[in-house]
Amino acid sequence: CFENFIQVRSMRKARDIREQLESMMERVEVDLVSNVGDTDAICKAITAGFFYHTAKLQKSLDYRTVKHPQTVHIHPSSSLHQSQPRWVVYHELVFTTKEFMRQIVEIKPEWLCEIAPHYYKKNDVEDDAGKKLPKMGMGKAGGSRVVERGLVEGAEHRAAAPG
136-to-19, 81, 82, 85, 131 alpha-carbon distances in Å: 42, 11, 8, 10, 15
Q: What is the pLDDT of residue 127?
A: 62
pLDDT in tens, 59-74: 999 999 998 899 999 9
Model pTM score = 0.66
Highest mean pLDDT among 65-74, 114-123, 127-136: 65-74
- Give me the residue spans of the domains in the chain: 1-33, 35-153
Whole-angstrom Cα distance, residue 128 to residue 99?
A: 24
Confidence band of 130 (pLDDT split at 50, 70, 90): low
User: Within 10 A of 24 (CB to CB), how many other CB atoms are there?
Assistant: 10
